[in-house]
Structures are given as structure tokens and as C-alpha cells.
């Protein structure tokens, strides 16, 4: 429920009261002196169901009262039979859900957009925390960077401005989003460069092997789902009163870590991985805006009337088409990554079955399957299957080319493309070594597996 106070010149009082009488709204009228330059002012106060605020303000605007001063206040309880009838009227026979008016929606979107100075400072802090979390492979630290990022207002302001016809709010939303992405990327490049010059590299391995980083430099179609969900949830938080803080974290999750990943991989000179992360950032920004715009449209925040051509109809259609088309174009490489991951999963399942079938033979009764891993190459962002690594263990596994031949024969029957297969042996016998000592291993060299071709690998033992 809302409580409205409308201040107009006394000579316009009748216009306001006619609109309220036509809607069956009970009101209180007082004549008051104001400091706004209106010598003879009238203040009209009345309660309204939340759903009625937008339509009543639109009717007042149509009556020529666009310049009236309107204050909308949250009301806890209204005890009135006439108000109950009005509440039933605006519930349309359904639930009495609270739908925020366009006027209030603009105000809320603007309130969640901080000043430029605060925005920049908070983003810098968020970028530093996100970069540190990714470099240290710490999910908790990465989540912390999302919590402090003030992205809810800027991420939704553009869509709200488009649908409600507020050009200033739309421009502010787009400007803040652009600045935010640039600031996070630049800050993460600086911090990651310092980390690299300082000799920091997690675990002494390739930087993109870090779990928190790898999933963001080669994104798949599921990444879009996160951003689309964030856009929908963000609008619902503004229009239905859901928790804005939680939704803000969700939006930040779609933007801050990928932007920091761009900076880290750029500092490490891995420009293919940086491109993959940057594509994810752009896709997420577009997804949030597209989902927010679509949700506003479905929720009824759109130009009314089939044959009406209000100022907001054309830009709403135009921006919706732009967001959708660009999003589809950028989703193509993500679909390629998704396909490769699906193929890798299928190949892993086939390889597991092939190894299990081979080890059932009497000649390999003393061997056990330790693991089967399908690895991808380092050609980010569009990676491909590199090889299948099979690890078996036994008391005295030796180097048996027959086992590797047996496995790659199974894979060759189902593989569409040549695949390299490597078989590694782990000596599991009790050699008197301490538990902390590394076991000896033997490996079979890689060879391409082509459908219908049997290749016996050259053996190569290592310890």
C-alpha cells in the first residue's frame, strides 16, 4: 500500500479531485502555504493500493498535471471499507501482489546507483579482492569480491530507463556499466602484473589451471544462464521487493570474476584466454540487460495500446533487438565450447568402458584402473580434445603394448576425430618406501587413434 501527497496550485484542485472521484478514491484536501513559489497551494492526500499508483499518476498526467509535486510513502495499514473495495478492484480478481509503479521504479533504480566516486572506489576494492581470490584459487575470497561490488543499480538502470522513457537514467546505466568493466579489467591487470613480477604462480603450474580461473577463460552456454537469471532476479527485486543485496551479489558474480580473469590472463600474456574471458564479460552484460528488459516488458512496464506509438515503444523494440542479435552472435563460440565439453564427456565414458573391458582379460587380472582423464589443449578460448590419459596400477604392471592397443582399438571404433591415447602405469607393490615417497610410474607414448586403424605405441618408461 502507498500513501500519496500531491501539491498543486489551488486553481488546479478541481482537476485532481475529478480524477480521484472517477476512481472512487477517498482523499483529504488541505490548503497550505509552501516555500516552492506557489502562493496558494492545495495538498491532496490519499491511500492507494500499490498496483493503482501507476494508473492514477498516469491519469493525473493526462489531465495536465505533469508538473505537480508528488510524494509516495509506504503505508503499513489502511482501515477503510472504501479502501478495501478499491484494493479488490485493483487485484483484478487475483492476488493482491505489489507491483511497483513506473515512477517509483525509476526512483529505486536511481537510488541503487551510487555516486561516481563511491562507485569507483568500491569497484577498485572489488577488483583487487577478486584478482587475489582468483590467483589464490579461493572461492571464499572471490565471493567476497561480489558482495562489495555496487552493480545492482547500474546493471538495471539502463533497462528501466529504456522502458520508462527516462533518457538520463538509461545513459547513466550504460555509462556506469562500461566504466565498471573497464575499471575492474585495468585494476586486475595491474595487480596481476605485480604478482607475476613477484614470481607468484599458484602451485607452480600454468595460471589457467587454477580452478576458479579456468572456468571463466573458456566459458560455455551455461554461463549465459547465470547472467540471464541475474537480470530477471534484479528486476524482480526492484518491482516485487525481493532482497536487493542478494540479487546484487548474483549480478556481481556474472561480471566481476570474468572481468578480473581478463586482467590476469592479459598480464600473463595468454591473450587467447583473455579473449575468452572478455567474451564472457560482454555476453554477461548483454544477457543481464536483455533479461531485465524482457522481464520489464512481461511485467507490464511497456507502452500500452496496440496502435499507440508512445516515445518508449520504438527504443524498447530497438534495444531489445540489438541485445538479442548481438547475444546470439556471441553465443556461437560458447556453443562450440559446450559441444567440445560434451564430446569430452562422451569420450571419457567410452574410455572408462574400454579400460574396464580390457582389464577383465586374464592377462591383465593383476591390474586395476586408477583413472581415465580426457584433457583439452591450450588453444583458448576454442579448445579441442588433446588426449586421453589412462592410469592403471598393479604389483608389477610392466610396459605392455597390448593393453594400449586394446584400449585405443575400443576408442577408434567410436572416435570421430584422431585422439592421442597415453597409458600410464603405477607400481602398487610394497617396495618398503615410506608413505610419503612417490611411487614409480611407467607410461606409454601418445599416438593418434583413427577410426579403423590399430596403432601399437612405442613404449617409454619413466620413474
CATH of 342-460, one of 3.30.460, 3.30.70, 1.10.4160, 3.40.50: 3.30.70
Asked if 259 contacts 213 with a C-beta cutoff of 8 angstroms, the reply is: no
Domain boundaries, the chain: 2-99, 107-302, 342-460
Query: Are 283 and 219 within 8 A, CB to CB?
Result: yes
Q: Which range among 66-75, 310-319, 327-336, 385-394 has the greatest average pLDDT? A: 327-336
Please give the pLDDT value at position 414: 66
Hey, how many other C-beta atoms are within 10 angstroms of the C-beta on 433?
Answer: 10
- Sheet arrangement for strand 28-32: 28-32, 41-48, 2-9, 69-74
pLDDT of 1 over the 80 cut: no
The mean per-residue pLDDT over the stretch 357-373 comes to 81
* Collapsed DSSP state (helix, strand, coil) of residue 5: strand
pLDDT digits (tens, 9 = 90+) for 244-254: 777 888 888 88
pLDDT of residue 303: 56
Asked if residue 306 has pLDDT above 80, the reply is no
Are 461 and 442 a contacting pair, CB within 8 Å? yes
Give how far Cα 27 sits from Cα of 4, 80, 307, Å: 10, 12, 35
Task: Indicate whether this model's pTM tops 0.75.
Answer: no
Terminal Cα-to-Cα distance of the chain (whole angstroms): 75
pLDDT at 453 over 50: no
CA distance linking residue 266 with residue 141, whole number of Å: 21
Same fold, 2-99 and 342-460: yes
Q: Is the predicted pLDDT of residue 48 greater than 80, yes or no?
A: yes
Q: Which CATH architecture has domain 2-99?
A: 2-Layer Sandwich (3.30)
336: CB partners within 8 A, 6+ apart = 382
Mean pLDDT of the chain, nearest integer: 78
Query: Which pLDDT band holds residue 165 (cuts at 50, 70, 90)?
Result: confident
Which cell numbers hold the place of 266?
592479459
d(CA 318, CA 50): 30
Q: What is the pLDDT of residue 396?
A: 67
Look at residue 289 in the predicted model and tell me its pLDDT.
Answer: 92
Which three cell numbers, joined as nine digits, stand for 101? Answer: 509503479
Write out the CATH class of domain 107-302.
mainly alpha
Q: Is the pLDDT of residue 142 over 60?
A: yes
Q: b/e for 284-319, b at 16 or more Cβ within 10 A?
A: bbbbbbbbbbbbbbebebbbeeeeeeeebbeebeeb
- More confidently predicted of 190 and 198: 190
Element (H, E) at 252: helix 244-267
Q: For the segment 266-290, what is each residue's pLDDT rounded down to a tens digit?
A: 988 888 888 988 999 999 999 999 9
Higher pLDDT: 218 or 263? It is 263
- DSSP state for residue 38 in the 8-state scheme: -
Q: How far apart are CA 75 and CA 79, in angstroms?
A: 11
Question: Per DSSP, what are the bridge partners of residue 29?
Answer: 44
pLDDT at 399: 61
Distance from CA of residue 424 to its chain's centroid?
40
pLDDT score at 60:
81
3-state secondary structure (DSSP) of residue 399: coil
Judged against a pLDDT cut of 50, whether residue 448 lies above it is answered with: no
Residue 95, all three cell numbers: 492476488
In angstroms, the CA 374 to CA 378 distance is: 13
Going through 354-400 in order, the beta strands assigned E by DSSP cover 367-376, 385-394
- SS3 state of residue 27: coil
Given a cut of 80, is residue 293 above it in pLDDT? yes
The confidence band for 450, taking pLDDT boundaries of 50, 70 and 90, is: very low
Instruction: Give 1's DSSP letter.
Output: -
Residue 207: per-residue pLDDT: 67
Residues 212 and 227: their CA atoms lie apart, in Å, by 17
pLDDT at residue 203 in the model? 45
pLDDT at 202 over 60: no
Name every residue whose Cβ is closer than 8 Å to that of residue 357 and which is 6 or more positions away in sequence: 410
DSSP class of residue 208 equals G
pLDDT at 447: 39
The residues, ordered by sequence, that sit 6+ positions from 305 with a Cβ below 8 Å of its Cβ are: none
pLDDT value, residue 95: 43
Q: Residue 51's pLDDT band (boundaries 50, 70, 90)? A: confident
* 121 pLDDT tier (thresholds 50, 70, 90): very high
In Å, how far from its chain's centre is CA 355?
39
Report how far apart, in Å, the C-alpha atoms of 308 and of each of 160, 303, 316, 321, 457 are.
20, 8, 14, 20, 73
Confidence of residue 390 (pLDDT cuts 50, 70, 90): confident
Burial pattern 386-412, b for ≥16 Cβ within 10 A else e, equals bbbbbbbbbeebeebeebbbbbbbbbb
pLDDT, tens only, 392-443: 887 766 666 677 777 777 777 666 667 777 888 777 655 444 545 544 444 4
Q: What pLDDT is attached to residue 180?
A: 92
pLDDT at residue 189, as a whole number: 94
Of residues 22 and 432, more confidently modeled: 22
- Residue 56 has a pLDDT of 83
How would you classify the pairing of strands 367-376 and 2-9? Answer: unpaired
Question: pLDDT: is 328 or 452 the higher one?
Answer: 328
pLDDT of 445 reads 42
Cell numbers placing 145: 569480491
Amino acid at each position: 500500500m502507498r500513501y500519496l501527497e500531491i501539491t498543486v496550485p489551488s486553481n488546479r484542485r478541481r482537476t485532481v479531485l475529478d480524477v480521484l472521484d472517477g476512481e472512487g478514491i477517498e482523499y483529504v484536501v488541505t490548503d497550505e502555504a509552501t516555500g516552492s513559489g506557489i502562493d496558494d497551494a492545495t495538498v491532496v492526500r490519499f491511500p492507494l493500493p500499490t498496483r493503482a499508483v501507476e494508473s492514477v499518476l498516469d491519469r493525473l498526467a493526462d489531465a495536465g498535471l505533469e508538473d505537480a509535486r508528488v510524494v509516495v510513502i509506504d503505508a503499513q495499514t489502511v482501515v477503510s471499507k472504501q479502501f478495501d473495495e478499491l484494493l479488490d478492484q485493483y487485484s483484478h480478481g487475483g492476488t493482491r501482489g505489489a507491483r511497483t509503479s513506473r515512477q517509483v521504479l525509476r526512483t529505486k533504480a536511481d537510488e541503487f546507483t551510487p555516486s561516481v566516486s563511491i562507485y569507483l572506489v568500491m569497484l577498485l576494492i572489488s577488483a583487487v579482492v577478486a584478482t587475489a581470490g582468483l590467483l589464490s584459487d579461493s572461492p571464499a575470497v572471490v565471493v567476497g569480491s561480489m558482495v562489495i561490488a555496487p552493480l545492482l543499480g547500474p546493471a538495471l538502470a539502463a533497462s528501466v530507463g529504456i522502458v520508462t522513457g527516462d533518457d538520463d537514467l538509461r545513459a547513466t546505466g550504460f555509462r556506469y556499466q562500461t566504466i565498471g568493466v573497464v575499471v575492474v579489467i585495468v585494476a586486475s591487470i595491474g595487480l596481476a602484473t605485480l604478482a607475476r613480477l613477484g614470481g607468484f604462480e599458484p602451485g607452480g603450474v600454468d595460471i589457467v589451471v587454477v580452478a576458479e580461473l579456468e572456468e571463466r577463460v573458456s566459458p560455455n552456454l551455461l554461463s549465459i544462464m547465470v547472467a540471464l537469471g541475474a537480470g530477471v532476479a534484479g528486476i524482480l527485486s526492484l518491482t516485487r521487493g525481493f532482497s536487493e543485496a542478494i540479487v546484487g551479489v548474483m549480478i556481481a558474480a556474472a561480471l566481476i570474476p570474468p572481468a578480473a580473469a581478463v586482467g590476469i590472463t592479459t598480464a600473463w600474456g595468454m591473450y587467447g584466454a583473455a579473449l575468452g574471458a572478455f567474451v564472457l564479460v560482454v555476453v554477461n552484460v548483454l544477457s543481464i540487460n536483455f533479461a531485465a528488459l524482457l522481464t520489464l516488458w512481461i511485467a507490464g512496464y511497456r507502452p500500452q495500446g496496440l496502435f499507440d506509438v508512445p516515445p518508449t515503444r520504438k527504443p524498447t523494440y530497438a534495444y531489445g533487438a540489438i541485445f538479442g542479435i548481438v547475444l546470439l552472435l556471441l553465443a556461437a563460440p560458447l556453443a562450440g565450447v559446450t559441444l567440445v565439453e560434451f564430446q569430452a564427456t562422451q569420450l571419457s565414458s567410452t574410455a572408462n568402458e574400454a579400460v574396464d573391458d580390457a582389464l577383465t582379460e586374464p592377462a591383465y587380472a593383476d591390474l586395476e584402473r586408477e583413472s581415465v582423464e580426457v584433457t583439452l589443449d591450450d588453444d583458448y578460448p576454442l579448445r579441442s580434445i588433446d588426449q586421453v590419459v589412462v592410469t592403471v596400477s598393479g604389483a608389477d604392471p610392466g610396459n605392455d603394448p597390448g593393453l594400449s592397443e586394446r584400449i585405443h582399438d575400443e576408442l577408434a571404433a567410436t572416435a570421430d576425430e584422431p585422439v592421442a591415447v597415453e597409458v600410464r602405469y603405477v607400481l602398487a607393490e610394497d617396495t618398503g618406501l615410506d608413505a610419503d615417497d612417490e611411487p614409480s610410474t611407467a607410461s606409454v607414448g601418445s599416438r593418434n587413434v583413427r577410426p579403423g586403424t590399430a596403432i601399437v605405441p612405442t613404449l617409454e618408461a619413466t620413474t
